[in-house]
Structure 1
Amino acid sequence: MKKDHFSVCDTGDGKFLISGPRSLPLSQRPRERLIKFGAESLSDRDLLSILLNTGVKGKNVSILAEELLNRLEQDKEIPPVKELIRLTGLGESKASAVAAMLEFGRRRWGMMGAKIASPGDIFNTVRHYADRRQERFICLSLNGAHEILAVRVVTIGLVNRTIIHPREVFADPISDRSCAICVAHNHPSGELKPSPEDDEVTLTLWKAAKILGIRFLDHLIFSAKAYFSYSQAGRMPREG
């Protein structure tokens, strides 16, 4: 037998009713509202209900989502799976899906507003790209306080002066009204020593940043466990 799905709808008088989605008007069904109006139109509980998909015997998905939401709001960090599965109805499979999606969201968007004060901060922001089989050239747009405005993959493939053109790197930071940028790229081989092409790309971007009035703070080359920082090594271009 196919499991039923449930949702919570506001009756308008401060009370809530729990019912199956097929008994609700289309406009009140979380999945349909997500498709039609976008994720921003849903409550946190509705978003979790869609992710969880089904409840368990004696606990429908809306109640499970509410309990999960309360659990997540108690923690500043993403709870480990072994903690999430303590919720009745949240087995390893669903708990793993929740943890994975929360971590993916943190990696992609959760860093916004974080301050870059050292090469290590850049590394922590981009290190999840280290497992890619091709090089990713990444640009961090920063405001005047060196807080992250955006993190973007500029190109995928070998890093050289032909592919990494200043217009591609600076197009979005200019749109972001960035005051500074950092760039980074992974070395799938694990070798962190900069190549002559890496040096040339760094110099080209530094010159372009100077013309644009945007501070070029650093260029990181990184693997899964370590990194090379041009600024830390004293190899950032200098005047004269």
Structure 2
Amino acid sequence: MQGTSIKHWSEDDRPREKMLLKGTDALSNAELLAIIINNGTREKSAVDVTKELLAAVGNDLHRLGRLSVKEIVKLKVKGIGEAKAVAIAAALEVGIRREAADNKKDVVLNSKDIAEFLRAKLKYMKREVFVVVFLNRANKIMHHEIISEGGITGTVADPRIILKKALEHDAVNIILCHNHPSGSIKPSRQDEELTQKIKEAARYLDIKVMDHIIVSEEGYYSFADEGML
């Protein structure tokens, strides 16, 4: 097929040929998604179908990445059934995990070292979750875990569960983190009170709360950097 003009390929195959000839940077979001869904319908090419899908989410890949398989199907884009919705959701999740892996640090030296990793993992979540990172004396990350999941407006973390897990993992230091699906990274009064409650409880067990980080698509907020610990 070398040297064959793209126009001689079927419409569904053209994004693949374009990628081979010019690389991934040359493809639009719709063309990349068209490769994932493989084919379109009798009336529309795969690119036309994915353009319609993107239009349904305001041409926002971040928004599409937040949707579950069922929610993608509910958009009722002709040509996007459950199987293709699964493929799209899986591909977008791989992208999220790749970003998190790129930002993962083994040892935490400052808030940015852990904030970008946590932000990559949590920023697309539609519900608020509370995560704790457990570290040893050298600030090496031994474990991180979602402690609780809440609704769109908030979650509650139990200090007893956090400290029990800290002891299980022989943690000397811990970092608290939760996401704000609303986008705002400003801590609420409840966030501040919970942080102090966990900090005081941890002190009795010689465990230090190094930071509490709030993440969203807008960025992150560090209690430590802001002098709130």
Q: TM class by shorter-chain length?
A: 0.5 to 0.7
2:175 counterpart (151, 173, 182):
182
Residue 140 (structure 2) pairs with residue 147 (structure 1): yes
| Contact preservation (8 Å) 2:184, 2:218 | no
C-alpha displacement of 1:171: 2.1
The yes-or-no answer on 1:124 pairing with 2:116 is: yes
CA distance in 1, matches of 2:125, 2:96: 17
How far did residue 102 of structure 1 move? 8.7
Deviations 1:168-206 (A, max 9, x none): 212222111011000111111111111110011000010
Structure 2: runs of 5+ lacking an equivalent: 1-22, 26-34, 39-87
Q: Which residue of 2 aligns with 1:48?
A: none
SS in 1 for 2:176: strand
Cα distance change, pair 179–105 in 1 and its aligned pair in 2 (3 A)? farther
CA contact (8 A) 2:131 2:178 kept: yes
TM-score normalised per structure 2: 0.55
CA contact (8 A) 1:182 1:217 kept: yes
TM-score (ref. length: structure 1): 0.52
| Number of aligned positions between the proteins | 145
Name the counterpart of 1:205.
198
* Higher Cα Rg, which structure: 1
Amino acid at match of 2:129: R
CA, structure 1 residues 229+99, in 2 after alignment: closer, same or farther (shift >3 Å)? closer
**AA at the equivalent of 2:110:** S
The gaps in structure 1 that reach 5 residues or longer are 1-80, 84-91
Percent of matched pairs sharing the same residue: 26
Q: d(CA) in 2 for partners of 1:210 and 1:102? A: 39
Q: 1:102 to 1:132 in 2, by over 3 A?
A: closer
The structure where helix makes up a greater share of residues is 2
Task: Measure, in 2, the Cα distance between the counterparts of 1:99 and 1:130.
Answer: 13
Q: How far apart are residue 225 of structure 1 and its match?
A: 3.4
Deviation at 1:104, TM superposition (A): 3.1
- In structure 2, relative to structure 1, the CA distance for the partners of 1:196 and 1:121 (3 Å cut) is same
Question: Partner residue of 1:224?
Answer: 217
DSSP 3-state at the match of 1:177: coil
User: Aligned in 2, Cα 1:115/1:201: closer, same or farther, shift over 3 Å?
Assistant: same
